[in-house]
Structure formats: C-alpha cells, structure tokens
C-alpha cells in the first residue's frame, strides 16, 4: 500500500507568516510522530499522537508550534509567526501501534524555508 505522504514537499514563507504542514500516515497506523531536521543537525522529536490524542508535547520548541490529528488519520503541524530558525525539514512518521518495538515509517518530509 501507500507509504506516509506529506504536503507540501517544499514551502517558502516570509517571516511572521503562519504555515500548515500536512501528514497522511499509512492506513491503519494508530501512532503518528513529527520530527524536524535542521541543516546540519540531527533529527529532533517534536510530538507524537496515539489516535487523536497527544500525550507528549514536550518536544515542541515553543508555543508557536501546535499539532492536531483528526479521525485518527491525517495530522497537521501548524507554526504561527514563523521565524528564520524554524527553517528545517519537517518529517512525519507512523507506526502500527505506539508501544513496543514496531518500526516507524517516515514520509519524505516538508522542506520549510523562512525568509
């Protein structure tokens, strides 16, 4: 079946504008994760969902970042009043269930550039 998809693939925005990034997980996967990778940096965990709830928001870098998931499927990561330091590749992953050793399947990412 189809893998994890993300849209848009690239987004250029002006500083101060809001952006929405979308993730479509693999059908039937109950767990969904957001990560980001800044230029030359490692992958940084942002938030995860079990179903529609997000028990762990500790990775969100500031209150300008929020995420939601509806219907246990699609998730949207919103960044308000974007700053240049928000420029990064935002990666979404899904897995069958949250606990246990199940592998995470990653999407291709959204490259966000804040000018």
74 versus 80: smaller Cβ distance to another protein:
74
Q: Is 98 in the site for another protein (CB under 8 A)?
A: yes
Interatomic CA distance for residues 52 and 35, integer angstroms: 17
Among 93, 94, 112, 114, binds another protein (CB under 8 A): 93
- Give how many residues touch another protein by CB under 8 A: 28
3-state secondary structure of 104: coil
Q: Kindly report the backbone phi and psi dihedral angles of residue 16, in degrees, each rounded to the nearest multiple of 5, phi listed first.
A: 100, -15
How long, in residues, is the chain?
115
Interatomic CA distance for residues 79 and 94, integer angstroms: 21
Among 7, 43, 52, 80, binds another protein (CB under 8 A): 43
Q: Is the distance from CB of 52 to CB of 32 less than 8 angstroms?
A: no
Among 88, 109, 112, 114, binds another protein (CB under 8 A): 109
Q: Which residues bind another protein (CB under 8 A)?
A: 4, 31, 33, 35, 42-45, 48, 50, 55-56, 59, 91, 93, 95, 98-109
């Amino acid at each position: 079946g189809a893998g994890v998809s993300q849209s848009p693939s690239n987004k250029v925005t002006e500083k101060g504008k809001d952006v929405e990034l979308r993730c479509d997980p693999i059908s039937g996967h109950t767990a969904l994760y957001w990560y980001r990778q800044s230029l030359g940096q490692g992958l940084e965990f942002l938030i995860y969902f079990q179903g529609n709830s997000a028990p762990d928001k500790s990775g969100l870098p500031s209150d300008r970042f929020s995420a939601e998931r509806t219907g246990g499927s699609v998730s949207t990561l919103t960044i308000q009043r974007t700053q240049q330091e928000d420029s990064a590749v935002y990666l979404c992953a899904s897995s069958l269930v949250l606990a246990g050793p199940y592998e995470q399947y990653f999407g291709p990412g959204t490259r966000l550039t804040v000018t």
